[in-house]
């Protein structure tokens, strides 16, 4: 082909001796895309999203089936299907935040009321349930309800965009769907670990503190939270973690509130799992400042309020991991970091406190399968 003598008008059929067929071949698609381009894009994108919705539906159904199976395993003569359906449709309305004053207390009250309500109804359904099994059922119920809500929201956005032939409305869904599916798959794969009462990646904080508690007398300090007192290099250590091996995160902020009234605390060290960024290695340890605790923010707010009022420095140690690693069976790489975390805690105590001072060390995270 001689590019020097290339005639673009002849190629597109726009020359003097233009071929009408060639003109149609080029013009008709342009006209179609001008008037129907958005709808064509909507159909193409819809196919991908429908596959994602199907995956969400599978995750939702599996979580519900696993929850039903677990409940029947505890009480074979029961038929929990109807109760589960009611539980999964529960919703929580967050308090009005137009006036932010006092909003944290309202959120805390709303969330704890829901948790208490769930526990009471599980006990009413299975009166003989043990605290260990209660924690498992509550966690499985939370997973199932979250997956159901994800499926509902994604399906609603998809059907709304399709109904209105609104391509811009479906674009955010297309962008967010991979992340949503990643979280859904992680929750689905977390079910076997929680059913079996095994440690998950998020339990690395309680695991490290639990090892430091070995040989110490434990006492109940707040709801589903235990305390052990020990010493290290002439410093008093107050070790706090959720009460294992049940699936619970406890209430470390309430523990701090109770302890601060009895004895002065000179430093707080919090150990938790943290989501790693893309490109970072899993099971790596990092130091930082501030309250390392997730959730809705009410626990962190309470800890920060007390620390600010008493001028207590708050240090944190995190173990990086992916969302899947955080809620599924703890990997060997993460479990092996427990002793390293303990060494880092001891170094942090020596570097930031003096002899005779008191340090509160909190292991933050789900303590499923992690005793003390």
The number of folded domains in the chain is 2
**Of 288, 193, 293, 306, nearest in space to 241 by CA:** 293
Question: pLDDT above 70 covers what percent of the chain?
Answer: 91
Asked if 137 and 118 count as a contact pair (C-beta separation under 8 A), the reply is no
Distance CA 148, CA 143 (A): 9
Split at pLDDT 50, 70, 90, the class of 9 is: low
Of the ranges 3-17, 187-201, 334-348, which one carries the lowest mean pLDDT score? 3-17
Assigned domain for 368 exists: no
Per the prediction, the chain carries an average pLDDT of: 89
Assess if residue 35 is contained within a domain: no
pLDDT in tens, 295-317: 889 999 999 999 999 999 999 99
The last residue of one of the domains, among 149, 173, 196, is 196
Determine the pLDDT at residue 90: 84
CB-count burial class (<10 Å; 0-12, 13-18, 19+) for 148: buried
Residues 298 and 151 in one domain: no
Query: pLDDT tens digits, residue range 56-103?
Result: 999 999 999 999 999 988 887 777 888 888 888 888 888 988 877 789
pLDDT tens by residue, 162-186:
888 777 778 888 889 999 999 999 9
What is the predicted pLDDT for the residue at 22? 63
Which residue would you say has higher pLDDT here, 282 or 41?
282
The reply to whether 241 and 177 lie within a common domain is no
In whole angstroms, give the CA distance from residue 316 to residue 363.
10
Same-domain pairing of 354 and 221: yes
pLDDT at residue 14, rounded to an integer: 52
Which among 290, 269, 293, 270 has a CA at the least distance from the CA of 357? 269
Question: What integer pLDDT is reported at residue 153 of this predicted model?
Answer: 93
Arithmetic mean of pLDDT, 120-143: 91
Q: What are the CA-CA distances from residue 345 to residues 120, 205, 352, 353, 355 (Å)?
A: 38, 11, 11, 12, 16
Examine the fold and report which residue of 175, 196, 217 is the final residue of a domain before the chain moves on: 196
CB 50 within 8 A of CB 158: yes
Q: What is the pLDDT of residue 65?
A: 93
- The boundaries of the domain holding residue 212 are 201-363
pLDDT at residue number 263: 87
In whole angstroms, what is the distance from residue 157 CA to residue 190 CA?
Answer: 26
**pLDDT grade for 113, boundaries at 50, 70 and 90:** very high
For residues 113-142, average pLDDT: 91
Residue 83 lies in a domain: yes
Adjacent-strand bridge partners of 239: 228, 361
> Within this chain, do residues 216 and 237 fall inside the same structural domain, yes or no?
yes
Q: Note the pLDDT of residue 295.
A: 87
* Reported pTM: 0.86
pLDDT at 273 over 90: yes
pLDDT of residue 238: 96
- What is the rounded CA–CA span in Å between residue 208 and residue 335? 9
* pLDDT over 80 (residue 27): no
For residue 18, the model assigns a pLDDT of 54
> Domain containing 275 — which CATH number?
3.40.50.1470
**Residue 354: C-alpha distances to residues 158, 266, 349, 359 (Å):** 59, 9, 8, 10
Domain boundary among 141, 170, 196: 196
Q: Are residues 321 and 216 in the same domain?
A: yes
pLDDT of 6 over the 80 cut = no
Q: What is the pLDDT of residue 209?
A: 96
């Amino acid at each position: 082909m001689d590019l020097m003598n290339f005639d673009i008008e002849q190629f597109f059929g726009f020359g003097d001796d233009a071929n009408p067929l060639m003109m149609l071949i080029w013009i008709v698609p342009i006209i179609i895309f001008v008037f129907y381009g958005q709808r064509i894009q909507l159909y193409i994108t819809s196919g991908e999203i429908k596959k994602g919705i199907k995956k969400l539906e599978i995750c939702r159904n599996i979580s519900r089936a696993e929850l039903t199976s677990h409940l029947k395993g505890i009480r074979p003569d029961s038929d929990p299907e109807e109760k589960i359906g009611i539980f999964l449709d529960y919703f929580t309305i967050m308090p009005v935040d137009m006036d932010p004053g006092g909003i944290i207390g309202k959120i805390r009250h709303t969330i704890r009321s829901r948790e208490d309500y769930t526990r009471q109804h599980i006990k009413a359904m299975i009166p003989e349930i043990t605290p260990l099994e209660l924690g498992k059922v509550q966690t499985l119920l939370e997973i199932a309800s979250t997956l159901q809500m994800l499926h509902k929201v994604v399906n609603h956005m998809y059907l709304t965009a399709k109904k209105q032939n609104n391509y811009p409305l479906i674009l955010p869904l297309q962008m967010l769907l991979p992340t949503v599916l990643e979280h859904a798959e992680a929750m689905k794969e977390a079910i076997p670990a929680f059913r079996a009462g095994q440690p998950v990646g998020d339990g690395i904080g309680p695991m490290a503190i639990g090892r430091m508690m070995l040989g110490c007398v434990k006492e109940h300090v707040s709801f589903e939270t235990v305390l052990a007192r020990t010493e290290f290099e002439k410093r008093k250590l107050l070790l706090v973690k959720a009460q294992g091996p049940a699936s619970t995160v406890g209430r470390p902020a309430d523990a701090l509130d109770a302890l601060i009234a009895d004895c002065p605390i000179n430093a707080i060290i919090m150990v938790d799992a943290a989501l790693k960024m893309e490109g970072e290695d899993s099971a790596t340890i990092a130091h930082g400042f501030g309250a390392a605790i997730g959730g809705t923010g009410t626990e962190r707010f309470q800890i920060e309020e007390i620390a600010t009022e008493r001028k207590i420095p708050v240090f944190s140690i995190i173990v990086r991991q992916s969302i899947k690693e955080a809620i599924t069976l703890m990997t060997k790489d993460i479990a092996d970091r427990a002793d390293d975390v303990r060494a880092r805690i001891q170094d942090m105590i020596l570097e930031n406190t003096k002899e005779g001072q008191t340090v509160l060390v909190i292991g933050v995270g789900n303590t499923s399968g992690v005793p003390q």
